[in-house]
Structure 1
Amino acid sequence: MDAFAEFIAKIDHPLHRARTEEVLSWVNRQFPKLETKVAWNQPMFTDHDTYIIGFSVAKPHMAVAPERAGIQRFSADIVQAGYKHTNELVRIPWGIPVDFDLLERMIAFNIEDKADCSTFWRK
Structure 2
Amino acid sequence: MSKPITNATGRRKTAIARVHILAGSGSITVNGRDFEEYFPTVALQNQILTPLALTNTRQQFDFNVNACGGGITGQVGAVKLGISRALITVNPEHRGILKKAGLLTRDSRAKERKKPGRPGARKRFQFSKR
For normalisation by structure 2, the TM-score amounts to 0.29
For normalisation by structure 1, the TM-score amounts to 0.30
Q: Which has the higher contact order (CA 8 A, sep 6+)?
A: 2
- Whichever of the two has the greater Rg, that structure is 2
